[in-house]
Every structure is written in C-alpha cells, then in structure tokens.
C-alpha cells in the first residue's frame, strides 16, 4: 500500500482532525483515510463534496 507524508501542518489543523476523529470514533489515521477517500467525488460530480472536507482540513497549510 502507498504511504503519504504531510509536513508542516499547522497545530490547529492537527487538532481539528483529532477532534473530528474522536467524534467519529476513529483513529487519526482512519479519519484522514476517510476524508481522502471521499475525494474521489471531486472528479465525478457526485457524492458528498469530499474535496471541501479535504480543503477545510488542510486550510492554512503549505503544499509543495
């Protein structure tokens, strides 16, 4: 399975992700997988707007 490393996340972003994971009864890793897995909806126009969730989770971070 492929791995991904995200560097330089703002502490507030990590805390939002942790809180969301806790409220959904998941680990942080499983929560991020769930968010990114919904990103497929970005391309086919259907679904629940996974791209908005990804964008919101990483708002304020630097992508290189």
Please tell me which residue, 62 or 4, carries the higher pLDDT value: 4
Domain residue spans of the chain: 11-57
Q: Note the pLDDT tens digit of each residue in 10-63.
A: 899 899 989 999 999 999 999 888 888 875 443 444 445 555 666 666 666 665
CA distance 29 to 55: 17
At 4 the pLDDT is 86
CA distance 53 to 48: 9
Q: What are phi and psi of 45, to 5 degrees?
A: 80, -5
Nearest to 57 by CA among 2, 1, 24, 44: 24
At 26 the pLDDT is 92
At 50 the pLDDT is 54
The length of the chain is 64
């Amino acid at each position: 399975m492929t791995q991904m490393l995200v560097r330089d996340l703002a502490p507030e972003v990590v805390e939002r992700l942790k809180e969301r994971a806790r409220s959904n009864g998941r680990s942080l890793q499983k929560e991020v997988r769930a968010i990114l897995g919904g990103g497929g909806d970005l391309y086919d126009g259907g679904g629940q707007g996974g791209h908005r969730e990804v964008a919101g989770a990483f708002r304020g971070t630097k992508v290189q």
